[in-house]
Chains A and B, each alone.
Chain A
Amino acid sequence: MPHDHDHPHPHAHDHDAHAPIVEDAAPGYYEVMETALRELLIGKGLITAAEIRRQIEVLDSRTPALGAKVVARAWTDPAYRARLLEDGRAAVEELGITVYDDTQLIVLENTETVHNLIVCTLCSCYPRPVLGLPPDWYKLKPYRARAVSEPRKVLAEFGTVLPEGVEIRVSDSTSLVRYLVLPRRPEGTEGWSEEALAALVTRDAMIGVVPVTLAQEAA
């Protein structure tokens, strides 16, 4: 029985009012299937619960801050940038970022004339080793369908209006190759430290829906 909030509160509450946190919906079809499969695999001794927990920790340890570090290094070290564009996987591994899912990584460089955008029209392929889990909108059908058919409208909805003369390259991830967008370094950051630069680089910039900007303007 959830805690009933209708009674007057003599005791102090220092949290905001919210709906009671309960799980009352029956598990869905896929949730039941996942539980059954997981329990079978564990029961048959193929994997252990500890291995699953460990893998969740691996996933949780991957965040856009890793991608931002890669981008900032590429902005400040031309030799690293060249290696990154030549072989993305080897270059991120150089920084200690392991590619645990055995995917290849192609790094797409934005320039004055080319803007890159990434999508997975088939499902939710995403450079998880360097960015962590994808945002929900990345996995939903409107983005997946529209990114390849009307990318300029999609970008405009993120507040990104590309000037005339800039071509869009939409990269659709189908199987074992992942992409990371290398955004343009913003003007006015000459002499900045790698750390200060990395702090500017957001997840959405590395997906390619926004540029990297100096001020945190409302996009």
Chain B
Amino acid sequence: MSSPPLSPLPALHERPAFAVGDRVRIATRAPIGHYRVPIYVRGREAKVTRIIEPALIDNEEEGYGRNAGGLRGRYYRVAIPLARLWTGYPAARGDELQIEIFETWLERA
């Protein structure tokens, strides 16, 4: 008799919170510390184009200068049309920004 297939469930935090194609908003926050989320994209809506694997550095630790490793921070590549970033930028051209943002800075739009 064969044993039943093993299918261990990943914990919720082990899975990406967002999927490719999801609409997200980059948080508008200004916490103390060094966060590698440029000011010009904070508060903007974006679309997830890629999930960066493997999960990378814990940005919340890094924000306080602790380059602690502990690969817990998930990271997404998101797209924002330049016409939505800058007043007067011609939308018809289809030009776009692509940027990586930490999961902790994204919320569902």
Contact = CB atoms under 8 A, between A and B. Distances in A.
A194 interface: no
A149 interface: yes
Interface stretch (A91-99, A128-136, A162-170): A162-170
**Residue of A104, A152, A172, A174 with highest tally of chain B CB at under 10 A:** A174
A167 B94 contact: yes
Contacts of B101: 174
Contacts of A172: 38, 97-99
Interface size range of chain B in the complex: 20 to 34
Interface in A38-67: none
A104 B73 CA distance: 14
A135 to B, nearest CB: 21
Contact of A167 (B77, B96, B99): B96
B37 interface: yes
Nearest to B95: A168
Given A106-B77, A175-B57, A169 B36 contact: no
Nearest to B81: A167
Contacts of B102: 175
B100 A170 contact: no
B95 A175 contact: no
B17 interface: no
- Top 4 closest A-B pairs, CB basis? A167-B94, A168-B95, A172-B99, A175-B36
Contact of B95 (A122, A151, A173, A174): A151
Interface in B39-95: 40, 50, 52, 56-57, 59, 75, 77, 82, 85-86, 89, 93-95
A176 interface: yes
A175 B56 contact: yes
B38 A174 contact: yes
25 contacts: A106-B50, A122-B36, A148-B85, A149-B82, A149-B86, A149-B89, A151-B82, A152-B95, A167-B94, A168-B82, A169-B95, A169-B96, A171-B97, A171-B99, A172-B38, A174-B38, A174-B99, A175-B56, A175-B59, A175-B100, A175-B102, A176-B56, A176-B57, A177-B75, A177-B100
A121 interface: yes
A106 B37 CA distance: 19
Contacts of B86: 149
A176 B98 CA distance: 14
Contacts of B99: 171-172, 174
Contacts of A152: 93, 95
A121 B57 contact: no
A170 B36 contact: no
Contacts of B89: 149
A121 B99 CA distance: 11
Given A172-B38, A176-B56, 8 more contacts: A152-B95, A167-B95, A170-B82, A170-B95, A171-B97, A171-B99, A172-B98, A175-B59
Given A172-B97, A172-B99, A121 B52 contact: no
A209 B59 CA distance: 31
